[in-house]
Structure formats: structure tokens, C-alpha cells
Amino acid sequence: MHTFNDYSPAEKLRRELDAPLFNPLLKKWVGKGELDYEVYLKTQQLLSLQASEEERVSHDELMFQVVHQAQELWLKLGSREAVEVVAEFDRDALWAASARLERLVRILRSLEAEMAVMETMTPDTYQVIRRSLGNGSGQESPGYNMLRKASEGLEAALERLLARRSRTLLDVYSGGGPDDLKRLCEQLVDVDEAFQGWLYKHFQLVRRTIGVDRSVKALDGLPTQVLAGRMTLPLFRQLWDVRVELTAGWRREGGHAPGARRDGCMEGAMSAAAYAAPATRTGGVCPVAHAGFTPTRGES
């Protein structure tokens, strides 16, 4: 029968970490699940959700589970924050909505940053873990599906907000559009961009672990090659489409040749009015005039 001193230093440390630890500052044992911090956060349950040392097929399986479980928590939080933004849009609490959208962007960027931890797993190690994942797919993620559903609610709330203001997205992005609405729309684009950044990191992880090719099947049976299309699906398509619409209405007239004098326009002539759709353009050669600016004598 082994005594504690018979174990290697690493094994001794492992066993110590599995047991309650005495905190000399608190003069209390931490890890029994009795302290307020542990009770409130349910740390005993939380830390027991991963496979035990004896159950793991690889040491990296702990990392694999922890990262995915953490991502599910972030996605849950993100979807609930999106619900609050819907409520804030509907009661015109736009400052609060803007602040919450900033939080949502940071949540999504945290998701993307966490993927870097997964990149430390080599392909051969993942091939071992993969055998125990069944037919699991990211499409089965509750958090991913919640965020997708919440984004539909966000898009609908934006449409209601625009309708109350009698505005279209093209109005918002044309010269002289309301700055508060433009700010919110751009924050939603930030959300979408961060979401797609996270998906792209996931795609890159697939590429570096199992490869991307028609011949390589994901666990759900689909070729990994099709993942590229999935990873670029936007949350708010209308906010991307309006950029296409703006560009379709763009004309070269009203600008300046590189190096030419710019006496005819005040600073800031490259306003959004220069990109307005034809129906909103007022003519003339100065983009500022399109925004409602009339040069005074000496400025024309």
C-alpha cells in the first residue's frame, strides 16, 4: 500500500489539488463547498462537471471540456443580454441599449479569444478525444442556437424602432441621418463582426486539427469544406445589404482629383451624403451641399 510520500512530486501536487486547501489568510479550508463564495457560485457542482482524471482519454480532454463549457456560459450570457437590448429598443432606452451592445461585443470577443487556448491542442491529441464525441456538432450547441434566436429578436426590434421613427436603414446611413440610430446600427454590425470572428476562429481550429477538404467528414457526417459557408452567415443581413445599396447609388461626381485644391468644400466633405442613394441626392458638385450645407460668399 502506497503512502503519500511514495508518490512523485507531480502526483502529490495533483492529489493536493483534488482535496480542500487551507487558506492561511482566511484561516479556513477552501474546497469543501461550505464558504459563501463556494455556495453562491456552486463551485463544487461546477468543478465536478468535467471528466475525472481516471475517466479522461487524454490530459487535453480537460482543456477541451473546460473551454467548451465556458463558451456555453458566455453564449448564455450573450443571448440574455440580447433580450435586454430588445426590451430597451422597444421602450426607446437607446443609451442603455448602446451600453449593453458594447457588453455583448466584449462577450463575443472573449469567445473568440478563448479559442486560442484550443489551438494548443495538436491534431494527434484531438484524434484521440474525437473518438469519444459521438456525432457531436457545434450546431447542437444550446448557446449557439440561443444566440442565433436572440439575434432574430434583435433584428425585429431594430425594425420596430426604425418604423417608429419613420426611417429606413438607407435613411440612417445617408447624409443627415439620425446619429443615435446610426450608432446603434454600427454597434449591431460590431456584434455581427465579433460573432463571425468567433466562427472563423472555430473554422481555423477545424482546419488545424482535422483538416478542411471534401474528403474529410465532420462528426455530423458533412464534409468540413462546407463549414466555410456556415461561418460567414451574418446575424443581421440587412445591415450588410444596406452597404451594397449605398455603394450602388454612389457616384464619382462631387469628389476631388488626388492632389487638387479643395477650396470648394469645408473639411469633412467626404460625408455619408456623398454615398447617398440617387433618390436622396440633391445634385451639385460639393458633397457637403448634399448634406444640406449651402456655401456662403467666399466658401463657394
Q: How confident is the model at residue 105 (pLDDT cuts 50, 70, 90)?
A: very high
**204-211: which pairs have CB atoms within 8 A and are 24 or more residues apart?**
204/119, 205/115, 205/118, 205/119, 208/119, 208/123, 209/121, 209/123, 209/126, 210/123, 210/126, 210/127, 210/130
Beta bridge partners of residue 21, listed in sequence order: 30
- What three-state secondary structure class fits 28? strand
Tens of pLDDT, residues 11-58:
999 999 999 999 999 999 999 999 999 999 999 999 999 999 999 999
- What three-state secondary structure class fits 54? coil
Q: How confident is the model at residue 171 (pLDDT cuts 50, 70, 90)?
A: very high
Tens of pLDDT, residues 65-93:
999 999 999 999 999 999 999 999 999 99
Amino acid found at 127? Q
Assess contact for 277 and 246: CB atoms under 8 A: yes
- What three-state secondary structure class fits 109? helix
Pinpoint the alpha helices (H) of the chain. Answer: 9-17, 36-41, 43-47, 60-90, 94-118, 123-130, 142-164, 169-173, 179-209, 227-230, 237-248, 287-290
Name the segment(s) of the chain with CATH classification 1.20.58.480. 60-248
Range 60-248 classified under CATH 3.30.565.10: no
| Cα four-point dihedral sign 216, 222, 223, 229 | negative
The whole-number average pLDDT for the span 238-245 is 96
- CA 300 – CA 287 distance, rounded (Å): 12
Question: pTM of the entire structure?
Answer: 0.83
- Which of 139, 104, 138 has its CA nearest to residue 236? 104
